[in-house]
Amino acid sequence: MRQVAIPTAALAGVPAGIQANGVWLGRRQLFVRFAAEAETATMYTPDALAGELTRQVGRSAYHSISVAGRDPLSNAAFLVAALRTAAPAIPVMLDCDGQRPEVVAEVSGFLALFQVTLEGSSTDSVIEHSVESLRNAARSSAAHAMVLAPEEKTTDGQLLRIISQVHVASGATAIVIHPPAGSTEKDRRWLTFMEQASALHGDTRVMQRLPRPTGMR
């Protein structure tokens, strides 16, 4: 009899914390963090992760579960198996860079929120893939968001072009802008920017991130 391979994934842990980023900023969450190359990792099977989620959700109060870390959508089959088994009683969000649009539909049915976060300056190709990921999430009827965390050198024009592309892909996208730390206190740029951004896409907001160690992603 042919054996079916069980997917596994390297996780940097399943810690509790406060969301630093995006639509659910400030919420207490249980984080499923896929490990980066330099992080200490533990290998999990879907059943092991499902059991861990069930145990922790049963022990304490959380708003939601956040799936994040390094390239979580590269482990789509693992995530689907774990979330199907766990069937958590609280919402699940996935926060990624949106570079795997072809697998978004595979996981969307298990999510309350699909969130794409772009850090700093992004190439046209990166933006194109992230927008396509949001389009696929919208087609799957999953709530979806774009989070932009620009650098000081990022221009308003660059941000507005991204917002325009996102709006064309899905008018239901929640867009969150996280300015560089302290920049909202230095000038009135963001007042002018928000006037322009809101004219392009109604659900646009500017918020400062929660810094570490309070905030987690």
Task: Report how far Cα 78 is from the mean position of its chain's Cα atoms.
Answer: 17
Closest CA to 91 of 114, 66, 64: 64
Residue 2 covered by a domain: no
What is residue 43's three-state secondary structure?
strand
User: pLDDT (tens digit, 9 = 90+) per residue, 177-195?
Assistant: 999 987 755 568 899 999 9
Has residue 136 been placed in a domain?
yes
| Length of the chain (residues) | 217
pLDDT recorded at residue 22: 98
Taking residues 204-208, report their average pLDDT.
96
Mean pLDDT throughout 23-50? Answer: 94
Contact yes or no for 196/160 (Cβ under 8 A): yes
User: What does pTM read for this prediction?
Assistant: 0.94
Q: Is residue 49 part of a domain?
A: yes
Q: Tens of pLDDT along 129-183?
A: 999 999 999 999 999 999 999 999 999 999 999 999 999 999 999 999 999 987 7
- What is the rounded CA–CA span in Å between residue 183 and residue 138? 32
User: Per the domain annotation, does 60 fall within a domain?
Assistant: yes
pLDDT of residue 36: 86
Q: What is the mean pLDDT of residues 42-57?
A: 97
In a domain, 1, yes or no: no
- The continuous run of DSSP H or E covering 54 comes out as helix 46-59
pLDDT reading at 1 higher than 60: no
**β partners of residue 205:** 176
pLDDT at 185: 57
Is the pLDDT assigned to residue 2 strictly greater than 60? no
CA distance linking residue 96 with residue 129, whole number of Å: 12
pLDDT over 90 at 4, yes or no: no
Token output for 128: 């194109």
What's residue 3's pLDDT?
60
Of 39 and 183, which is predicted with more confidence? 39
* Average confidence score pLDDT of the chain: 94
Residue 130 lies in a domain: yes
Domain of residue 144, residue span: 9-216
Whether 4 maps to a domain, the answer reads no
- pLDDT(31) > 90: yes
Residue 16 has pLDDT above 90, yes or no: yes
CATH number of domain containing 118: 3.20.20.70
Task: Name which residue leads in pLDDT, 66 or 36.
Answer: 66
Axis crossing angle, helix 156-169 with helix 189-200, rounded to the nearest 10: 20
Better pLDDT: 185 or 68: 68
- The answer as to whether 3 is a domain residue is no
**Domain count along the chain:** 1
